[in-house]
Amino acid sequence: MSSVDKAIETQKQNIQAKTGRSLKDLMGWIQKSGSKKHKEIIEAVMQEFSLGWGDANLLASLFLNPPGSQIASIEEITDGYYAGKSEVQRQIHDKAMKMINKLGEFEIAPKKTYLSFRRKRQFAMLGPASKGRVELGLNMKDISGTDRLLEQPAGGMCQYKVFMEDPSEVDDELMGWVKKAYDAST
């Protein structure tokens, strides 16, 4: 089982502990609610069970794409991102994921070309970039950009970006920035 799948299993257990209901009961409640769209389910679950967005999103995803359906795993989605890319890009991604997974509980939301990491809001994104690089976007405040930590114009998806060309660039400095973004996303 991948570290991502382990994180999802932990999140499922935490949801059951928070609500006092099994996943089967929660799926039954969603069915009875009449909500059919992803966003509607999230809103209904957040209101009824006082869950955060990440937990409600997971329940909506499980309801709309039950186990056994043909939904790709995070690992399969990530494989698709790096198909035709260099092996070094995938090594950078995997090393960054190991680092990010050590932070604690968060949701991974696959997008078209990258993974989004959320707590109450997005704190980072990770995916392949042009020129054989991997891009890490970060959302945090009160830090000055550097030659490596590139400050982005206001209004974008991320306030900072870091481009990596070698696995050695996934280091303590990078981890410090990711932790700052993670801590600020509550």
Q: Using one digit for the tens of pLDDT, what is the confidence trace for 121-137?
A: 899 999 999 889 999 99
Give per-residue pLDDT as tens, 64-108: 877 655 456 788 788 888 988 999 999 999 999 999 999 998 988
Nearest to 41 by CA among 58, 28, 60, 22: 60
The structural domains of the chain, ordered by start, are 3-64 (no CATH), 83-184 (3.30.1460)
Give per-residue pLDDT as tens, 152-177: 998 888 999 999 999 999 999 999 99
Token pair, residue 183, equals 């801590």
Rounding to the nearest 10 degrees, give the CA dihedral for residues 161, 136, 88, 83: -120
The predicted model scores a pTM of 0.64
